[in-house]
Amino acid sequence: MSGTTTPEAGDLAGVRAAVLEGLGKDPRLAGEVAPLVRDFRRLMMTYKFGIDEVMTKITVLRDEFRHIHEYNPIEHAGSRLKSLESILAKARRKGVPLTPEGVRAQMFDIAGVRVTCSFVSDIYRVRDMLVGQRDLTVLEERDYIAHPKGNGYKSLHLIVQVPVFLSDRVEDVVVEIQLRTIAMDFWASLEHKIYYKYEREVPRHLTDALKLAADVAATLDTTMERIHDEVRDLDGGAETGPSGADTLATREAIETFIRTAQVTDEVFHDRRRDG
């Protein structure tokens, strides 16, 4: 979720330039652009309100957890509104009509909210709390944790719809919520930077290394959650401390993590050396 901006209220020139760019800079279309610019600005504003609605929900959950419970599943929450330039570029790439209606009907990641959690189980916990809210409708769920992408990408994506109450109407706004662990987020940020640095043509040894790093990140997630569970059980008042099975499971998780990290490091160096 980078390279994105919120259009400023007075930034008409920027919006106009982006729309013209999206229309292929055809000077004959210049006269027709003004109403489109106005419609796009309005569209972007409603997406921003959609983000505000979802962020309020996340903030409420986070603050409530902070005050009432001893543990908070939400580490960090952020948002971004895709820039008009990115929207038009993606619309062109995917053959989406360059109209507010076309964009609204076929692009679901214009408004984005990202929630970072400590553990995988927290992701599903936050998901359940969100989808249980009656004014939030889930249109689609993409579970890239249960089914990671080929490059190693993991996250849980929810495409949701929230009502936004405007002065003269209620508009249902689509927002993409991405839920990740810290390790998944670390991986995705680096992969995203590399992807754009190489303009989508990433050298093979780097895609291989990223795939291996995704495995390490996944085992780190498992190990950290295992350790956390064992300590939580201890805090839960178990007088005898963690059971033998708990301790064994934690030890096995740590050993798996160390093995995965070692193998990954060796494979990465071998592949780099072999070109």
176 is known as an active-site residue: yes
Are 62 and 77 contacting, i.e. CB atoms less than 8 angstroms apart? yes
As measured in angstroms, the least distance from the Cβ of 47 to ligand 0O2 is: 13
Q: Of the two residues 125 and 211, which places its CB atom closer to ligand 0O2 in the complex?
A: 211
Q: Which of 53, 85, 176, 191 is catalytic?
A: 176
Token pair 């930034």 is found at 11
Least distance from ligand 0O2 to the Cβ atom of residue 215, Å: 15
Of the pair 91, 162, the CB lying nearest ligand 0O2 is at: 91
Q: Which is nearer to ligand 0O2, 33 or 173 (CB)?
A: 173
Query: Among residues 100 and 148, whose Cβ is nearest to ligand 0O2?
Result: 148
Could you tell me how far CA 197 lies from the centroid of its own chain? 20
Chain positions contacting ligand 0O2, by CB under 6 A: 1-3, 82, 109, 142, 149, 151, 153, 157, 188, 191-192
Surface-to-core class of residue 177, CB atoms within 10 Å of its CB (0-12 exposed, 13-18 middle, 19+ buried): buried
Q: Provide, rounded to whole angstroms, the least separation between the CB of residue 17 and ligand 0O2.
A: 20
Distance separating alpha carbons of residues 143 and 121, to the nearest angstrom: 13
Quote the least distance from Cβ 209 to ligand 0O2, whole Å: 15
Quote the CA–CA distance of 116 and 158 in Å, as a whole number. Answer: 14
130 DSSP β-pair partners: none
- Other beta carbons within 10 angstroms of residue 53's beta carbon come to 19
Helix (H) or strand (E) run with residue 71 in it: none
The span from the CA of 106 to the CA of 261, in Å, is: 40
* Nearest CB to ligand 0O2, comparing residues 79 and 260: 79
Nearest-approach distance from CB 144 to ligand 0O2, in angstroms: 7
**Which amino acid is present at 164?**
V
Strand 170-181 to 111-117 pairing: parallel
Catalytic residue positions?
A: 176
